[in-house]
Structures are given as C-alpha cells and as structure tokens.
Amino acid sequence: MAKSPGTLEQLRDQYGPHLNYTPDGGWGKESRTQPDRLVKTHCCFCGQQCGIQLKVHGSRVIGFEPWEDFPFNRGMLCPKGVKRYLQSNHQDRLLDPLLRTDSDFVKASWEEAMALTARRLREVQDRYGKDSVAVYGGASLTTEKSYLLGKFARVALGTRHIDYNGRLCMVSAGTAYKLAFDVDRSPIPWSEIPKAQVIFAIGANVGECAPITTDYIWRCRDNGGKLIVADPRMTPISRNADLFLPLRPGTDLALLNGMLHVVLRDNLQDDDFIEQHTTGFEAVKASVARFDPRMAAAMTGVPPEAIEKAAHMFAKADRAIAMHARGLEHQSKGVENCSALINLTLATGHLGREGCGCTMITGQGNGQGGREHGQKCDQLPGQRSLLDPKAREHVAGVWGISPDELPQPGYSAQEIMNAIHAGEIKALFSICFNPAVSLPNADFTREALEKLEFFAITDFFLSETARYADVVLAGSLQEEEEGVTCSAEGRVIHIQRAVDPPTNARRDSEIICDLARRLGKGKFFPFETPREIFEELRKASRGGHADYYGITYEKIDAQMGVFWPCPTLDHPGTPHLMQDGISFYPDGKCRFQLAEWRESGDPVDDTFPIYLTTGRVVSQYLSGTQTRRIGGLVDIYPEPRVEIHPRMAEQHGIVDKDWVTITTRRSAITLQASIVRTIRPDTVFIPYHWADKKSANMLTHRTLDPRSKIPEFKVSACRIQKADGPPSWATAEVLVKIAPAGAAN
C-alpha cells in the first residue's frame, strides 16, 4: 500500500536533501544584522547536549554564539553544533501537512490531514484490534514529548506497541546497569573524568561521537592520567592512548573477561569492596577462570601481554574510570559486554569514590531523558516497570485511568518492524525516527514499510522513511518548542523555544494532543503548553528511580541543570549516584552478573571472511535527516567510504579511491575505498548516516540481543571485491566533489 510515490529523483528534487551553506540572506546580511536576542539553550544533536546561544532576529534563527558559562562544555562545540542553526529556514523544511497520492505528495490542510489520520487509525484498530497499530518515538524528542507520546500510545490508542529509536542506541547498557545497580544512568557526572588516574575507553569513538568528552579526557592526561583505548579502529582519541588494544569486532567480552581473569589471578581485586558492596562474585569468578590471557588473546587478536598490562593499569590505579559507547553496546551480547565491564569495575572497587566509576556515553540528544518517562515498550514514567503492579497503579492514578486499562509491555523497535513485515501490525504512527536508514537490513525495512495499511509520520524534513507515509505531519525543530532533556551525565537541562514553527508547521506536542482529541481521548490530553506536560510528568515520575518531582524549569535555569533523582522541591539534585558504592537495590548491594560468551549473529566463514563494523563520523548525526542538509557539514565528509587496511587492499588489488563492492548475507553496496593503516587488517568499516544504496544498514543483520533487543550493528560478516566502476548514485557531480583530481585525501 504505502509505496513511495513518484521516483526517487522527483522526491529528492522537491524535498531534498538540499545543502544549505549560508544563513538566511547570506553572510553579508548575517554580519550586518544584529540579533534581537540571544537564547541560552542546548544543541539539538548528541547526548552531550552542549550549551549554546542561538542568535534570533524576528522569527528566525540567524546564527549562534558560544555559551561559555554553561559548565558542561564551557563554550566548546563540535562542527555539528557550530552549524546546527543552518537547519532553520532550510528550503527542504516541511511547512504544511502532506498527503500521498499515487504519483506525488500534495499539500493538505491540518483539518484534512488530522481527520484522515484519526479515521484511518480507528478503522485499522476496529478491524484488527488495538495492537494492530504501533507507535515509534525518538530520543531527540524533549522529555515532555517522549512522555506525551507514551501516554498517547497507551491511553489514546490503547496499543501495547510503542518503542523508540533509542533501542538502536544504548539499551543494552541500560539493561546491564539496571541489572547491576537497579538504575539506568551514568553513576558519575563528567567532572569526575579529569580526576581519574586511568581512563579505559572501550568501543567509544569519543573524538567523533562525543567530541566534548575529549577535553575531559585530555584534562585527565594533563593531570598525569593514563588512557587505555580498545577499538578495532584507531579513532581520534587513540592517538594519545598510553595503551591501544585493537580488538577484533565482537570480542569485547573476551577482552573484559580476560582482564578480570588477570585481576583475580594476580590478586589485584578489592576484597573489601566485593565483600561489603556486592553479591554474585563467586559465580563470576568461576566464569572467567577459562579466560586466561592466552585464550583471550586468541579470541580478541590482542597480544596477551597487552591484556595483562591493561588489567594491571586499571586495577592498580587508585582511581579509574571505564567508559563505553556503541562499540560495546551494539552487539547481540551487548548486555553481557556491559555486565563484564561493570564486573571489572566492581571487582577492582572503582565505584562510589572520587575519580572512579563506569559510565555509558549515551549517544542521542535526549537518549537519557527519552528513555525514562514512558516511550520504551516496557517502561512507565520515572523509569518504572510496566510489569510492576504498584507502578501501574501510580501512573494510572496520575493519568486518571484504571490500572487495568494500561496495556502490557509490547514489542521493541526492531520487533515492531518485524511484526509489520509479518502482517501482524497494520498501521504506524511515527515521530522522530528514520528506520529506513537506521534499522538493520534496510531491504527488509523497506518491504515492511510498503506493507503498512496506514502510515502517518511527523517530521520537519521528508526523511527517507517519510517517503512511505500516507500522511506527513509537518512538525517542529528542537528550537521551536520548550522542554527539557537529560544529558549523558544525567543532567536535566532546559531547551528554550527560540522561535515558532514556520508557516503552517506545528509544535509536535500540539499534533499529538490534537490527534488524541480526535480519537475521543481529549480529556486526558488537556495540555496547552509543554510546561503543563512537565507538571504532570513530575507527578508521574514521583517516587520512581528517575524522580523529577523536585525539578522545575526555574530550578534548571538557576542551577545550570539538575541531576536526577530530585525528589523534593528543596532537593539540589544528585550528580553522583551510588556514593560509597550503595546501589539502588533495597539491600544497597551491587550485583555481579554472569557474562557468558556467545558468537555473533552473523559469523564470518569462508564465503564471508571479513568483519564489517559500522559507526559514525564527526560531521554527521544519526540517520542524517538534519546533518545531510547542511553544506558545511556535508563538505567535511561528503559520501560514505569503506575503510580498508592496506594489507587487505593489496590482497584484493584495491588502491585508494577505487570503487569496492561490499557483500553480506543480506545485500551488497558499492562505495569508494579509503585505504588506511588505522583499522585491523581483517575488518572493514563503513559509517552509517546515508540512505538507499549508500546505506551501511543495507548490509547489517537483524540479530537482537535477547534481553535489551539492541541490533548488532557492530559485527557483520562480509566479502569485498573491486568494482568495475562507480555505482549509479555516483554521478559526474558527485565524482567531482569526492575525488577531485590530485587531491591528497
């Protein structure tokens, strides 16, 4: 049903991505125009949520000014933050709702689009049942929008199936921290990082994906700290690593268990901490007995001496911090990987003291806040479980419904797409999610989207996923609606409405409330402003682990952010969790978790002998819906390239800039080669921000971690072959841009 209308070329001509290089009216106007006001807010992109001031003139954002007083980034910004304002006033911006016809999208009135959406959703539910409609959310939404969307799914639609794109980010880490500490948040604020003597960064491309964290690590090194980096590639921070562990993709667990083995073998564990603050140590001790350095080395490809050295450096340091990101988490054993890292932290007693801890570097803008208040398929506001009768009673009470009316947990993000493909889910309401680019096995995602009987999407640009929608609702950019987000450190911060949505575009929360009213549930959605939503959220989260009850917009502004939990209005917030090693479990103990080895879901073999790993570049953000429209960012890294080690390149007769076809058990794509000595010789790397035939996710597989349901983006099996020539997308125009004659890089 929902086949993309018209040709790709037609859609691209009209809706982009087009490149915006200059502010509205050009640089001359920008430098002559004095802003009416500077709005202190935050970057719309990653989980660092840097403070930034937007220059506003009239109803337009015309530039930015660093915000040096904001304590997290003190004025620092990455290229995405510097250029972010160029998405405002963009020619591709959706200014009206669109309806799909057989050949095109046509502009519609809000009345028409909303009435159709409500009618079709109701028809599908009447015919196939409540759970035949699913809702997708996203972790770039403010916490108010995330909360509202969870309530919308469960109260207005009454469906079990709501999940969000944070499922593709770090849910495995969240699950592991929940198992170990009964709370899903970084235990430490970033201000602890410079105080450590040893930083161990595993699967974390800090320089490109969390750029401001680089400064914290460099300050640690300026103070004499040592840096250990484990990654299949030399990422920018590894240039200053004291010890670099170039492990094989998907073998982090063997490395971590190997390090714990060495710690225990050499009696470097902290017996007092283990005794006083933990349970489950003996079972974990027994499980790592077989991971001696020789075996860990055989599995990881890292020399045994290096594994021993890493274990000694980490354990012998009085103060050490282990940090991790998608490399550790994007695996079908992502929970085990993170548990193994927590085990190492607990065994060495590096928790609850100055300059100590383990921490996840949450990736998405509101990756933390967006997962705390009810758009996860199994959670209610306040980081409560949807299975907990007390939690159901509390939230149902705040919402004015009976606990029995609350649906049970539903499918996770990939499972929803699988159910759409299987015909079980017939309709989808999506906001802030571009699964056509971000879910693994993109052909499968496309097939599924084409099967939907009804698909409504809310977005500000026509994303690759929106091409499949029956109704496109023109929503708002981050700077067009007030709200809060929660950064990677657990700091709740205030997003300001700098401008209003242009022309006929609407605030996201207004769209959701309007739809709820049209579904006959208006009395549960009386909200006129985000502040009203936040007031209800405070009550709904009250008493949960992620307790926002004591947080107000005014307190956030006065304190430059409030760390949760913050249970009362006079509470200052909680930057450090688990002070003195006391977990959130009723007994206060931290739980060692067994972290057993399991093979990847897409193992290498004779036909597909090469590891494929995917990731990011500094100039692009997630599926690129925003950043692929900003000229200055696209120029930094215009098209995806496949990184290949010279040794592998030689075996395949490939030289730098050759076109190379990468084939996996799903599909094949052809990209230009970047021959670099900074990657393992048995591994190739592709950044994933692009769509269609340039999409790394054409190649990845749908194996999920069984507990957290995170896909295994970081490990696939592939083969490579020199291509006869450029692929069809590499037009003459593209070729000039990516391979100018005589260019050095």
Q: Is 600 near another protein (CB under 8 A)?
A: no
Among 242, 535, 639, 656, binds another protein (CB under 8 A): 656
Enter the DSSP assignment of 362. -
Sign of the CA dihedral running 699, 598, 413, 208 = negative
Q: Establish if 650 lies at the interface with another protein (CB under 8 A).
A: no
Which of 8, 116, 179, 234 lies at the binding interface for another protein (CB under 8 A)?
234
CB of 223 to another protein, least distance (A): 8
Contact 254, 291 (CB under 8 A): yes
419 is an interface residue for another protein by CB under 8 A: no
Q: How far is the CB of 450 from another protein (least distance, A)?
A: 40
User: Which 175-214 residues touch another protein, going by CB under 8 A?
Assistant: 207, 211-212, 214
Could you tell me the smallest distance in angstroms from the CB atom of residue 34 to another protein?
13
- Give me the residues paired with residue 685 across strands: 613, 643
Place of tokens 């040794």: 647
Exposure pattern of 229-254 as b/e (b: 16+ CB <10 Å)? bbbbbbbebbeebebbbbbbbbbbbb
Among 335, 654, 675, 698, which residue interacts with another protein (rule: CB under 8 A)? 675
- Provide Rg for the chain, Cα atoms: 25
Question: What are the helix (H) ranges across 187-251?
Answer: 206-209, 213-222
3-state secondary structure string, 287-334? HCCCCCHHHHHHHHCCCHHHHHHHHHHHHHCCCEEEEECHHHHCCCCH
In whole angstroms, what is the distance from residue 37 CA to residue 50 CA?
19
Q: Which is nearer to another protein, 73 or 552 (CB)?
A: 73
Considering Cα of 717, then 722, then 728, then 730, what sign does the dihedral take?
positive
CB of 87 to another protein, least distance (A): 18
Min separation Cβ 356 and another protein, Å: 22
Q: Which of 33, 110, 123, 218 binds another protein (CB under 8 A)?
A: 218
Contact residues for 559 (Cβ-Cβ < 8 A; gap 6+): 572, 573
Buried b (16+ CB within 10 A) or exposed e, 462-485: bbbbbbbbbbbbbbbbbbbbbbbb
Count of beta carbons in the 10 Å neighbourhood of residue 692: 15
Beta carbon nearer to another protein, 84 or 545 = 84
Instruction: Return the SS3 of 50.
Output: coil
235 is a site residue for another protein (CB under 8 A): yes
82 binds another protein, rule: CB under 8 A: yes
| Interface characters, 45-74, with another protein (x: CB under 8 A) | ---------------------x-x------
End-to-end CA distance of the chain: 45
Compute the least distance from the CB of residue 74 to another protein, in Å.
9
Is 32 near another protein (CB under 8 A)?
no
Q: In this structure, are strands 683-687 and 590-591 parallel, antiparallel, or unpaired?
A: unpaired
Answer yes or no whether residue 692 interacts with another protein by CB under 8 A. no
Q: How far is the CB of 233 from another protein (least distance, A)?
A: 9
Identity of the residue, 78 or 114, whose beta carbon is nearer to another protein in the bound complex: 78
Instruction: Please give the DSSP secondary-structure letter assigned to residue 490.
Output: S
Integer Cα distance of 423 and 426 in angstroms: 6
222 binds another protein (CB under 8 A): yes
Determine, following the binding rule CB under 8 A, whether residue 25 of this chain makes contact with another protein. no
Is residue 695 a contact point for another protein (CB under 8 A)? Answer: no
Compare residues 123 and 215 and give the one whose CB is closer to another protein. 215
Under rule CB under 8 A, residue 678 binds another protein: yes
Residue 77 within binding range of another protein, rule CB under 8 A: yes
Of the pair 674, 697, the CB lying nearest another protein is at 674
Question: Across-strand partners of 661?
Answer: 670, 721
Which of 65/450 has CB closer to another protein?
65
Q: By CB under 8 A, which span of 2-10, 230-238, 361-369, 499-507 interacts with another protein?
A: 230-238
Tokens describing residue 580: 């003195």
Rounded to an integer, what is the distance from CA 54 to the centroid of its chain?
A: 24
When asked if residue 238 is in the footprint of another protein (CB under 8 A), the reply is yes
Binding of another protein at residue 292 (CB under 8 A)?
no
Q: Is 242 in the site for another protein (CB under 8 A)?
A: no
Q: Which of 9, 523, 570, 677 binds another protein (CB under 8 A)?
A: 677
Least distance CB 745 / another protein (angstroms): 5
* Member of 575, 646, 681, 727 binding another protein (CB under 8 A): 646
CA distance 737 to 732: 9
Q: How far is the CB of 482 from another protein (least distance, A)?
A: 25
* Binding status of residue 76 toward another protein by CB under 8 A: yes
What angle (nearest 5°) sits at the alpha carbon of residue 625, between those of residues 624 and 628?
A: 55
Please, what is the minimum distance in Å from the beta carbon of residue 256 to another protein?
A: 24
Name the residue nearer to another protein (CB basis): 212 or 247.
212
Question: Binding of another protein at residue 658 (CB under 8 A)?
Answer: no
In 570-700, alpha helices (H): 631-636, 646-651
Nearer to another protein, 215 or 500 (CB): 215
CA–CA distance, 328 with 289 (Å, rounded to integer) = 22
Binding site for another protein (CB under 8 A): 66, 68, 75-78, 81-82, 207, 211-212, 214-215, 218, 222, 234-236, 238-239, 646, 656, 674-678, 744-745
